[in-house]
Amino acid sequence: MGQSDQTSEEDGDWDWSNESEVQASPRGEQQGAQPGHPSPVDDAPSRDTPQDTESESEHPSQQSQQPQGGQPPQSEQPPQSEQPPQGGQPPKSQPEPRQGGGFDAGAIVDRLPVVPGVVGGVMAALFMFVLGWLVGVLFPSVGDVSTIRLGALATIDLHFATPDHVTPFIFSDFETANPPEASLGILYLIAPFLLYQVSKLVVDFGISGRDIPLVDGALTGMTVILGYLPIMLVVALLAPSSQIGVDFSLINGIVFAGLVYPLVFGAIGGLSAAYYSPNQRRVGLLYGIVAFVTGLVLVFLSSFLFLDTSDVELSVVNRLITSIGAFVQVHTLSFVNVADMANVTIPLVVVMLVIAGMGFLRAWRSPDIQSPGDAFTRSLTPVITYFMLVSFLASVTLLVADPWVQKELDLGSIGFSSFPTMFPEMLAMGPLRSIGTYVTATSTTFLVLPIMLCGTFGIIALLVENYEQSKD
């Protein structure tokens, strides 16, 4: 962190500056070392010899040639812009350089990589349509509405562009299982996450160099709309409007699925790609995965402390499901009463320590952090990966709240308590009771907790490093 000799997982770029200086040396240094070989242009001496330069300034008459054929010497020829007009045409004025650092939108648009944006947008839109089609395949038959049209409606619904969610229709034909609809909530996070990732790839492939202005990055990420909008327009036209009891609006479908999503999440992904290098993002991905797995393992081990099983032996499956439920519960920061808070106190402390350690180590092992702002932002690189993994685990955990699943897994039958199903049922009745509340909870508390802890302890890592350097 600010030290050239510090080991970091982000190192690996070789410094070519010395080699570039050698390659950039003028050829005059090589030719001027040979006596008897004057310069081929006007017999001028080499510019790299200070004695020759000084002699030119003292004896200018020796360097000029006599005019031939009435022509002025080469050094006295007028500049091109001052030549008289030919053919009655006025001379072309040379464009003056722009003064200041004003915002030139036209210049930025001209250098935007359109082709990568179109390709990325089309691929993302097609992926979402295939996902919607798979959901539509699971729908019960609705009259003469084809599966393609049902899949188109599900695709629009995955962008929150329908008044009522249609994905829970896949549970309507289930005779035994009836999971909470929020168990499908992870499907509604795929479009934002996909556009976020695709827009980063567009910036990486479309703009060369490492110093990318944030405005260029955001606008480049937004170019995914060029491929996303046409596909979503076709999907919106295919979606049935009222055959299945959903009052679908074509305008809402086009605006939300075709415009809002690619513009907003494409801009966010472009900003991320412009601010963080690809290597920094890859390291952040690794940190997010390691922190997620570490948190789960530690919460499972801590279950031997916060679960009172003195009256009965708790099986490994029951203990594992209880630990997963507690892990998800603490991320919602939603506790119904004091008893619930007491049950998750130890998991909450464990999770907070893991997240804080993730942010601290991420900033501590970064060699080029110079300010608290750098430490805060660098420590956030694992957050998106960690967020998506916890959100997926939350959807899976909600399946345990279904009575049929509990019966099949032989859960909730340990006599003294219903520990294995307690946390999933609390989630299904509280912060994750519907798809809307699921997306709200995951987009707020699932993100706020890692952002605040990682950012804070990233700054603490910088302060500790500065303190150690001051002692040396």
Can you give the three-state secondary structure of 386-427, one letter per residue?
HHHHHHHHHHHHHHHHCHHHHHHCCCCCCCCCCHHHHHHHHH
Question: Considering the domain boundaries, does residue 101 fall inside one?
Answer: no
CB-based contact 64:73 (threshold 8 Å): yes
Q: In this predicted structure, which of 57-71, 232-246, 373-387 has the lowest mean pLDDT?
A: 57-71
Whether residues 378 and 229 fall in one domain: no
Least Cα distance to 140 among 150, 132, 149, 130 occurs for 150
Whether residues 347 and 255 fall in one domain: no
Distance, in Å, from the CA atom of 222 to the CA atom of 262, rounded to the nearest integer, reads 6
Question: 244-281, pLDDT tens digit by residue?
Answer: 667 778 898 999 999 999 999 999 999 999 999 999 99
Percentage of the chain exceeding pLDDT 70: 70
Whether residues 264 and 392 fall in one domain: no
Whether residues 241 and 382 fall in one domain: no
Distance, in Å, from the CA atom of 304 to the CA atom of 15, rounded to the nearest integer, reads 52
Number of structural domains found in the chain: 2
Question: 197-215, pLDDT tens digit by residue?
Answer: 999 999 998 887 668 889 9
Question: Considering the domain boundaries, does residue 98 fall inside one?
Answer: no
Question: Considering the domain boundaries, does residue 322 fall inside one?
Answer: yes
Whether residues 306 and 435 fall in one domain: yes
Question: Considering the domain boundaries, does residue 88 fall inside one?
Answer: no
Model pLDDT, residue 337: 52
Distance of CA 348 to the CA centre of its chain: 27
Whether residues 310 and 200 fall in one domain: no
Question: Considering the domain boundaries, does residue 121 fall inside one?
Answer: yes
Question: Considering the domain boundaries, does residue 126 fall inside one?
Answer: yes
Question: 118-138, pLDDT tens digit by residue?
Answer: 999 999 999 999 999 999 888
**pLDDT band, residue 357 (cuts 50/70/90):** very high
The domain boundary residue, chosen from 250, 275, 300: 275
Question: Considering the domain boundaries, does residue 202 fall inside one?
Answer: yes
The domain boundary residue, chosen from 275, 292, 317: 275
Q: Is the pLDDT of residue 33 over 60?
A: no
Question: Considering the domain boundaries, does residue 346 fall inside one?
Answer: yes
What phi and psi, each to the nearest 5 degrees, are found at residue 469? -70, -35
Whether residues 289 and 387 fall in one domain: yes
Model pLDDT, residue 312: 59
User: What residue numbers bound the domain in which 193 lies?
Assistant: 111-275
**pLDDT band, residue 419 (cuts 50/70/90):** low
Distance, in Å, from the CA atom of 402 to the CA atom of 425, rounded to the nearest integer, reads 8
Whether residues 353 and 233 fall in one domain: no
- The alpha helices in 248-307, defined as continuous H runs, are 250-253, 261-275, 278-306
Whether residues 268 and 283 fall in one domain: no
Whether residues 339 and 437 fall in one domain: yes
Q: In this predicted structure, which of 11-25, 152-166, 310-324, 389-403 has the lowest mean pLDDT?
A: 11-25
**pLDDT band, residue 106 (cuts 50/70/90):** low
Distance, in Å, from the CA atom of 375 to the CA atom of 217, rounded to the nearest integer, reads 21
The domain boundary residue, chosen from 234, 256, 275: 275
Whether residues 315 and 441 fall in one domain: yes
Whether residues 257 and 303 fall in one domain: no
